[in-house]
Amino acid sequence: MSQARTTELLESKFVTPAEQETVDAYADVVGSKIDTYSQKLVSYVCTNTDGANSIDWKVLASNDDTSYVEAQAEATLAPAAIGTYTSTAAPYRYYKVQVKATVGASQGDATVSGMAKH
């Protein structure tokens, strides 16, 4: 394997999708998916940027990018609250974040950042 390819595989990966408004059912945060191939640690920070409504969030994981399981169960974030998820083993290859409104028709806003590193 070339030195350039080895360096590419070991480089940290970052995602910082645009702020996303919740809906009444879980939906993927667009751009939050991380492929952890050759990485050991995966971490997400989810911030509820809404000033009035709470949101629910969870982290999903998959090895085939089709069938996902919960890596972090649903958690509620109050207005302006921050939630974190970290796995130092990264046993799955793909990770993504989903969000929804805690109370139907009371939408909130989520900002997510994620990282995978060797």
Q: What number is the average pLDDT over the span 76-85?
A: 98
Identify the three-state secondary structure at position 4: helix
Domain count along the chain:
1
Q: Which domain holds residue 80?
A: 3-117
CA-nearest of 53, 108, 48, 109 to 84 is 48
pLDDT at position 5 over 50: no
CATH code (residue 58) = 2.60.120.380
Q: Model-level pTM? A: 0.92
Spell out a b/e string for 54-70, using b for 16 or more CB atoms within 10 Å of the CB, else e: bbbbbbbbbeeeeebee
